[in-house]
Amino acid sequence: MSSKDRIQKIKEDTRHNILRASLDIVKEEGWGALSMRKIADKIDYTAPVIYEYFSNKDAILKELTRIGYVKLAGKMEEARELSTTPEGQLEAMWLAYWHFAFAYKELYQVMYGVEMNCCSIENSCPDYVRPMNMLWDKIEEITPAEKRSEEYIDRKYYSFWSVVHGLISINLTNQINRDELNREVLKDAISGLINSIKN
């Protein structure tokens, strides 16, 4: 490995360590506890080293948000492959969205502002809009030609998202803790919306 490659690897590793330490702090103490000083202490760096990689805490939150959307899109792509019908794929993708929210709770919180202020989303970043576009495209695919308009598909997307995200938010804030009820509500909502599109 050349010295240039070694330096680049050290930089990438340091950046990764900063992000991992940020998530570790949040998992242990919550989003309110995250600070540049705490991150530096956690990985035994000085605060100026952290600022070489991220200009402020918001920059860290934006990168964690981007990482979250990349992971979410990956999980949804995997789920889409589990079915051969567009309806089955759409249902599998929404279920992957649901499971992502609990498997990566802290990322979901920063992505959507659950129990914290989320950072502003830059719609120009393809990583941020990729999961939404995947779902939107699948809704468009199952929509009969006579109903197919941007307004209709947009409305159906937000109907799905409102139900799924709403149920996730209720659970993440510990207002419901009944797995069977969650599964039934989620399944009823997704299948009901799919049927409303097709009929």
The pLDDT assigned to 198 comes to: 85
pLDDT mean over 170-196: 84
- Same domain, yes or no: 85 and 107: yes
Per-residue pLDDT reduced to its tens digit, 74-83: 999 999 999 9
The pLDDT assigned to 78 comes to: 97
The pLDDT assigned to 64 comes to: 94
Confidence bin at 35 (pLDDT 50/70/90): very high
- Same domain, yes or no: 28 and 100: no
Q: Spell out the SS3 assignment of the chain.
A: CCHHHHHHHHHHHHHHHHHHHHHHHHHHHCHHHCCHHHHHHHCCCCHHHHHHHCCCHHHHHHHHHHHHHHHHHHHHHHHHCCCCCHHHHHHHHHHHHHHHHHHCHHHHHHHHCCCCCCCCCCCCCHHHHHHHHHHHHHHHHHCCCCCCCHHHHHHHHHHHHHHHHHHHHHHHCCCCCCHHHHHHHHHHHHHHHHHHHHC
Residue 53: burial class (beta carbons within 10 Å; 0-12, 13-18, 19+): middle
- Same domain, yes or no: 23 and 95: no
- Same domain, yes or no: 23 and 92: no
Residue with tokens 């409102």: 162
- Same domain, yes or no: 50 and 62: no
- Same domain, yes or no: 67 and 156: yes
- Write down which residue in 54, 69, 96 finishes a domain: 54
Residue 27, domain extent: 1-54
- Same domain, yes or no: 86 and 169: yes
What is the CATH classification number for the domain harbouring 37? 1.10.10.60
| Cβ proximity of 50 and 25 under 8 Å | no
- Same domain, yes or no: 100 and 140: yes
Confidence bin at 172 (pLDDT 50/70/90): confident
- Same domain, yes or no: 75 and 131: yes
Per-residue pLDDT reduced to its tens digit, 132-160: 999 999 999 999 999 999 999 999 999 99
Compute the mean pLDDT over every residue in the chain, rounded to the nearest whole number.
90
- Write down which residue in 10, 34, 54 finishes a domain: 54
- Same domain, yes or no: 50 and 122: no
- Same domain, yes or no: 16 and 70: no
Number of domains composing the chain: 2
Confidence bin at 116 (pLDDT 50/70/90): low
- Same domain, yes or no: 7 and 80: no
Task: Please give the Cα distance from 109 to 114 (Å, whole number).
Answer: 5
Per-residue pLDDT reduced to its tens digit, 47-69: 898 999 999 999 999 999 999 99
Confidence bin at 115 (pLDDT 50/70/90): low
